[in-house]
């Protein structure tokens, strides 16, 4: 049988290091804390851990403002902690993926400190500097994702610099010949250490229009989030960005079995270009996985999701490996978006679709958005845009992991105030409690990941959607030569349905049900599906 790499057959588990486990009583999670929790992580049957940035950073964007690409932030520990974590992860047969943030640095990075020091500094053009417009304002109309203009005026040298996030995140200029080689060296530093890959931050933003032309207004803007006001034709998805990504991939290819997953929010036809060109050996020359965020963004109804899955499958170049994401540190928690009942259905979907699943810590226990009292709000888009903080603020999905019913849910010591608050109900929604409850979300998650790992059809097999005859129901088959076949039937609705799937088989065995109560062989010609029920059948 064909061989698959870990990043194809495995599951990626994202950890937000500030919030997983505090080991030193400062209210912020750290590497030693993650290390203490490896038994748990392994018990989830996941294969790779992706850590959001752990580098030195003044934390204006919680680590996505990197001040040194080749060091560990003392908040999280030191290089010895990282080495020990990596060693333990590898000893368990798991992989470690780091976040790489190449589009921008912190304004405290030595490159920018030099760049801003004078107009003739050799690093001046490592960043994007421009004279003011004739009226003294910013050079063009570009806006920041976090509100306000994408330009900040620097008194010292009388020019503006570009930043599409906070002003402490100046953007590197990949048109300068020395910038990319310097970033590739940062990658080699970690690859030499044995890191298994990178999740690359805003990879589709790395190149900007050379002439810095104004972006046109977006006629479809919903009037809410200012970033949607413009059509980002000069700041995103520029054709030349693919040359940069190809160079990054070439570095990964210098090593064995490493992986690059790119953060890209684009429609299918553009997204799939980030796999690059297919080579003779069947591999591609850009991202191993361009993140597919559709499950985070789509309206949650069976027809929409089925159409999206089918369209994505159809858009993939032959041999390109799919992937699906259910949550991340930038999006509201899936259990809050969909409710607990549908979050279970969503977990079945994620773990049974074709392609690498990425899920976000806490989803396995149905963690919800945590309401953040005003004095705790710290995420820059929420701070900068208080009127839409409830929409754009990301603190609610970044709160401490809920381990048990002890003070602060076992995240930190009792006397310490965690950096973000715990929800009021953590005593009833936590890992310990769910381990004891045979029908918990955690047990559902573990059954799914275990099944996926042991069944080739689910891990790497083909996908085909099936007409279920009810608008609320999405059904599909997974098959692989010489292996058990599976039928997945998901009720996205609040009503029960009786459906006829006898064209697939007359009867089938329930192996997993959302409620973890149903089992045994059932007839498929009058299959009764409860409200919010998902079923995985072995055929």
Full DSSP string of 456-520: HHHHH-EEEEE--SSTTEEEEEEE-TTS--EEEEEE-SSS-EEE--TTT-SEEEEEEETTS---E
> For residues 145 and 476, which CB has a smaller minimum distance to ligand NOJ in the complex?
145
Q: Compute CA 333 distance to the chain's CA centroid, rounded to the nearest angstrom.
A: 12
State the number of CA atoms in the 13 A half-sphere of 192 facing the CB: 7
> For residues 105 and 115, which CB has a smaller minimum distance to ligand NOJ in the complex?
105
Query: What gap in Å lies between CA 173 and CA 118, rounded to an integer?
Result: 17
- Is residue 229 classed exposed, middle or buried when 0-12, 13-18 and 19+ CB atoms within 10 A define those classes? middle
> For residues 106 and 159, which CB has a smaller minimum distance to ligand NOJ in the complex?
106
**Least CB distance to ligand NOJ at residue 276 (A):** 21
> For residues 57 and 491, which CB has a smaller minimum distance to ligand NOJ in the complex?
57
* Selected binder of ligand NOJ within 37, 329, 331, 408 (CB under 6 A): 329
**Torsional class of 272: left (φ above 0), alpha (ψ -120 to 50), beta (otherwise):** alpha
Check the CA dihedral 28-31-32-35 and report its sign.
positive
Q: Would residue 285 show up in a list of annotated catalytic residues for this protein? A: no
Per-residue binding string, ligand NOJ, 202-221, x by CB under 6 A, is x-------------------
**Least CB distance to ligand NOJ at residue 538 (A):** 38
179 binds ligand NOJ (CB under 6 A): no
**Residues from 99 through 128 that contact ligand NOJ (CB under 6 A):** 101
**Least CB distance to ligand NOJ at residue 52 (A):** 7
> For residues 30 and 201, which CB has a smaller minimum distance to ligand NOJ in the complex?
201
Query: What gap in Å lies between CA 311 and CA 307, rounded to an integer?
Result: 6
**Least CB distance to ligand NOJ at residue 263 (A):** 6
15 binds ligand NOJ (CB under 6 A): no
> For residues 201 and 472, which CB has a smaller minimum distance to ligand NOJ in the complex?
201
Per-residue binding string, ligand NOJ, 456-495, x by CB under 6 A, is ----------------------------------------
397 binds ligand NOJ (CB under 6 A): no
Q: Who contacts 415 (Cβ-Cβ below 8 Å, separation ≥6)?
A: 25
**Least CB distance to ligand NOJ at residue 66 (A):** 9
Per-residue binding string, ligand NOJ, 255-294, x by CB under 6 A, is --------x-------------------------------
395 binds ligand NOJ (CB under 6 A): no
Could you tell me what percentage of the chain is helix, strand and coil, using 3-state DSSP and rounding each to the nearest 5?
A: 30, 15, 50
Catalytic pick among 81, 263, 313, 472:
263
Report the C-alpha dihedral over residues 183, 184, 190, 196, rounded to 10 degrees: 120
Full DSSP string of 143-199: B-TTSSBSEEEETTTTEEEE-SS-TTSPBB-TTSTTHHHHHHHHHHHHHHHT--EEE
Label each residue of 399-425 as H, E or C: CCCCCCCCHHHHCCCCCCCCCCCCCCC
Report how far apart, in Å, the C-alpha atoms of 433 and of each of 404, 407, 496, 499 are. 7, 14, 29, 35
296 binds ligand NOJ (CB under 6 A): no
Residues binding ligand NOJ: number (CB under 6 A):
9
22 binds ligand NOJ (CB under 6 A): no
330 binds ligand NOJ (CB under 6 A): yes
368 binds ligand NOJ (CB under 6 A): no
341 binds ligand NOJ (CB under 6 A): no
Report the C-alpha dihedral over residues 130, 131, 134, 139, rounded to 10 degrees: 20
Q: How many CB atoms lie under 10 A from the CB of residue 539? A: 16
Q: Who contacts 400 (Cβ-Cβ below 8 Å, separation ≥6)?
A: 19, 20, 22, 29, 408, 409, 411, 412, 418, 419, 420, 422
* Selected binder of ligand NOJ within 61, 196, 313, 364 (CB under 6 A): 61
55 binds ligand NOJ (CB under 6 A): no
64 binds ligand NOJ (CB under 6 A): yes
Per-residue binding string, ligand NOJ, 159-178, x by CB under 6 A, is ------x-------------
**Least CB distance to ligand NOJ at residue 528 (A):** 42
* Selected binder of ligand NOJ within 201, 364, 395, 455 (CB under 6 A): 201
Q: Would residue 201 show up in a list of annotated catalytic residues for this protein? A: yes
- Is residue 155 classed exposed, middle or buried when 0-12, 13-18 and 19+ CB atoms within 10 A define those classes? exposed
> For residues 61 and 455, which CB has a smaller minimum distance to ligand NOJ in the complex?
61
Catalytic pick among 171, 201, 330, 368:
201
List residues with catalytic annotation.
201, 263
Binding site for ligand NOJ (CB under 6 A): 61, 64, 101, 165, 201-202, 263, 329-330
């Amino acid at each position: 049988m064909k061989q698959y790499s870990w990043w194809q057959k495995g599951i990626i588990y994202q950890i937000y290091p500030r919030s997983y486990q505090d080991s030193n009583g400062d209210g912020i999670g750290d590497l030693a804390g993650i290390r203490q929790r490896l038994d748990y992580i392994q018990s989830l049957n996941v294969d790779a851990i992706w850590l959001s940035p752990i580098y030195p950073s003044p934390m204006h964007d919680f680590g996505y403002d990197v001040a040194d690409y080749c060091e560990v932030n003392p908040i999280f520990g030191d290089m010895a902690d990282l080495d020990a974590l990596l060693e333990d992860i590898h000893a368990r047969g798991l992989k470690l993926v780091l976040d790489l943030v190449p589009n921008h640095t912190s304004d405290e990075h030595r490159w920018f400190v030099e760049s801003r020091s004078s107009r003739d500094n050799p690093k001046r053009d490592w960043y994007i500097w421009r004279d003011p417009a004739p009226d003294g304002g910013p050079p063009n109309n570009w806006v920041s994702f976090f509100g306000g203009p994408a330009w900040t005026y620097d008194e010292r040298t009388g020019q503006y610099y570009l930043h599409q996030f906070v002003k402490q995140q100046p953007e590197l200029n990949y048109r300068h010949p020395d910038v990319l080689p310097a970033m590739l060296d940062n990658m080699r530093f970690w690859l030499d250490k044995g890191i298994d890959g990178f999740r690359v931050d805003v990879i589709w933003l790395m190149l900007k229009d050379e002439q810095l032309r104004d972006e046109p207004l977006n006629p479809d803007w919903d009037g809410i989030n200012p970033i949607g006001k413009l059509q980002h034709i000069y700041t995103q998805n520029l054709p030349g960005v693919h040359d940069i990504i190809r160079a990054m991939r070439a570095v990964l290819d210098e090593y064995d079995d490493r992986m690059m997953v790119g953060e890209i929010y684009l429609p299918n036809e553009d997204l799939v270009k980030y796999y690059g060109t297919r080579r003779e050996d069947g591999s591609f020359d850009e991202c191993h996985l361009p993140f597919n965020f559709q499950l985070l963004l789509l309206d949650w109804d069976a027809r929409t999701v089925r159409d999206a899955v089918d369209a994505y499958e159809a858009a993939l170049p032959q041999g390109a490996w799919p992937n699906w994401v259910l949550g991340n540190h930038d999006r509201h928690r899936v259990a809050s978006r969909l409710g607990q009942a549908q979050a279970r259905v969503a977990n079945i979907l994620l773990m049974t679709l074709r392609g690498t699943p990425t899920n976000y810590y806490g989803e396995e226990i149905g963690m919800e958005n945590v309401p953040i009292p005003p004095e705790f709000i710290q995420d820059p888009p929420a701070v900068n845009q208080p009127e839409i903080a409830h929409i754009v603020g990301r603190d609610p999905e970044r709160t401490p992991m809920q381990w048990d019913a002890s003070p602060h849910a076992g995240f930190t010591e009792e006397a310490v105030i965690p950096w973000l608050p715990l929800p009021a109900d953590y005593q009833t929604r936590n890992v310990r409690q769910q381990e004891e409850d045979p029908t918990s979300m955690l047990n559902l998650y573990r059954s799914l990941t275990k099944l996926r790992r042991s069944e080739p059809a689910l891990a790497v097999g083909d996908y085909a959607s099936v007409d279920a005859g009810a608008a609320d129901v999405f059904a599909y088959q997974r098959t692989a030569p010489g292996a058990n076949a599976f039928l997945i039937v998901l009720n996205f609705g609040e009503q029960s349905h009786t459906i006829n799937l006898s064209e697939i088989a007359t009867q089938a065995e329930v192996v997993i049900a959302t409620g973890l109560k149903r089992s045994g062989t059932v007839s498929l010609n009058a299959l009764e599906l409860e409200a919010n029920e998902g079923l995985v059948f072995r055929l």
